[in-house]
Amino acid sequence: MEIERKWMVKGWPQGLVPAAEYEMEQGYLSVRPTVRIRKEAKTGGETEYILCFKGKGGLARREIETPVSPELFAQLGELIGWPLIPKLRRDYPLPGGLKLEVSRVDEGAPTEFWYAEVEFESEAAALSWQPAQAGLEEYLRDEVTGQPGQSMGEYWMETRGAAKG
């Protein structure tokens, strides 16, 4: 089960030091239900290729991820059409063992945008957590958790889906 809150943000958070950085590419075989492929290249680390299935939901939804080979990833990428969505993600540790994931999507494109997510162990923890607890009340002020049209799948359809025919 994936339990996360999401915000639209501008830039990287000030005063936090990232614990990890990833260059990513992702695309969608399906948006409803979500079936996604993603390449995650950790700076100074390994590259992973992941096939992901996501169920319906806003704050909480079922998520199944499984590794795939680089060859299968490439074949699926060709099947769904290029280009995939490029993302740069930085992970920042937060108090209480939480992690802030900030992503810059489609850098340099007219559609470029930034978003941030925090994952939680339970819905109760997600609903009770306030950005002020981490000194992020100004940075995380535009919450879009569960709002229609705010998923990466929807972004895929808007920017790449029509090209797939």
The CATH architecture assigned to 2-160 reads Beta Barrel (2.40)
**pLDDT value for 165:** 44
pTM of the predicted protein model:
0.93
Instruction: Supply 137's token pair.
Output: 């009340």
Q: What pLDDT sits at residue 146?
A: 87
**How many CB atoms within 10 Å of residue 33?**
12
Residue by residue, DSSP assigns 31-66 as ETTEEEEEEEEETTS-EEEEEEEE-S-SSEE-EEEE
Task: Give mean pLDDT in consecutive 10-residue pieces for the chain, a chain of 165 residues.
Answer: 96 97 96 94 97 91 96 95 92 97 97 97 97 96 92 91 52
| Residue 132 confidence (pLDDT) | 96
Q: Contact 54/63 with Cβ under 8 angstroms?
A: yes
Q: From CA 41, how far away is CA 33, in angstroms rounded?
A: 26
Closest to 87 measured CA to CA, from 105, 70, 69:
105
The string of pLDDT tens digits covering residues 35-48 is 999 999 999 999 99
Looking up tokens 């108090």, which residue turns up?
95
The single-letter code of the amino acid at 155 is Y
